[in-house]
Amino acid sequence: MYAVEDDPYCYPGTTVLRNRFDIRNEQILGDLESELTTARADEPLPEGSLDEAHFRAVHFHLFQDVYEWAGETRIVRLAKGESHFCYPEHIDGQLVTLFDGLASDNCLKGLSADDFVKKAAAFLTTLNVIHTFREGNGRAQLSFLLLISEYAEHPLDLTQMDSAVMLDAMIDSFFGNEVPLTKIVRDMIA
């Protein structure tokens, strides 16, 4: 659960995100969101230049059926447990820096598998710390990483990923230990 004060994304007095279906029950919304985003994930992801606009298009693609704000930068401060994500007023600047770095690295194309997994894990860590959207960051991040991996000719197989282990690795990377995340990315190379 995210900690947010005065969250305009939620129905007043609740932690239920405002949604296109006006569902006010968190469990029902979660189940529907999962169903709809899984269906969208099974479709081809949007094409693009592996830049910030492309990342936003991926989030929009996945969440367009559920949230009006899909693909848009969040406007509230978020924390999850001990993890305080990038303040909204800094998100756009941090994304520019991150994606300029990705472009400078030729979107990780031409790297050995070992170099790819290290840089992919570092990219994913930073993208997670930025936490661009109010909801759905992890799914959008992994979908975008799939696109990067295909472009870089190190395609990933997400079926090799254990969600609980991945979550622990993302938390470790948030606090500076990218070793578990790097191993997971390495193990997912098809």
* Calpha distance 17→37 (Å, rounded): 15
CB 169 within 8 A of CB 142: no
Nearest CA to 53 out of 66, 38, 72 is that of: 72
CB 44 within 8 A of CB 69: no
**Whether the predicted pLDDT of 1 surpasses 60:** no
* Calpha distance 179→189 (Å, rounded): 16
Mean pLDDT across the stretch 14-22? 97
Mean pLDDT across the stretch 138-150? 98
Q: Please report which confidence band the pLDDT of residue 49 belongs to, taking 50, 70 and 90 as the band edges.
A: very high
CATH superfamily for 26-188 is Fido-like domain (1.10.3290.10)
Residue-level pLDDT at 108: 98
Residue-level pLDDT at 82: 86
Give the pLDDT confidence of 89-112 residue by residue, as tens digits.
999 999 999 999 999 999 999 999
What does the DSSP 8-state code read for residue 71?
T
Share of the chain above pLDDT 90, in %: 94
Share of the chain above pLDDT 70, in %: 97
* Calpha distance 58→146 (Å, rounded): 11
CB 114 within 8 A of CB 182: no
* Calpha distance 40→89 (Å, rounded): 30
* Calpha distance 108→142 (Å, rounded): 15
Instruction: Provide the whole-model pTM.
Output: 0.95
CB neighbours of residue 155 within 10 Å: 12
Q: Which residues, in sequence order, are CB contacts of 162 under 8 Å at separation 6+?
A: none
CB neighbours of residue 73 within 10 Å: 16
Mean pLDDT across the stretch 133-150? 98
Q: Please report which confidence band the pLDDT of residue 190 belongs to, taking 50, 70 and 90 as the band edges.
A: confident
Give the pLDDT confidence of 56-83 residue by residue, as tens digits.
999 999 999 999 999 999 999 999 988 9
* Calpha distance 36→64 (Å, rounded): 9
Average pLDDT over the chain reads 96
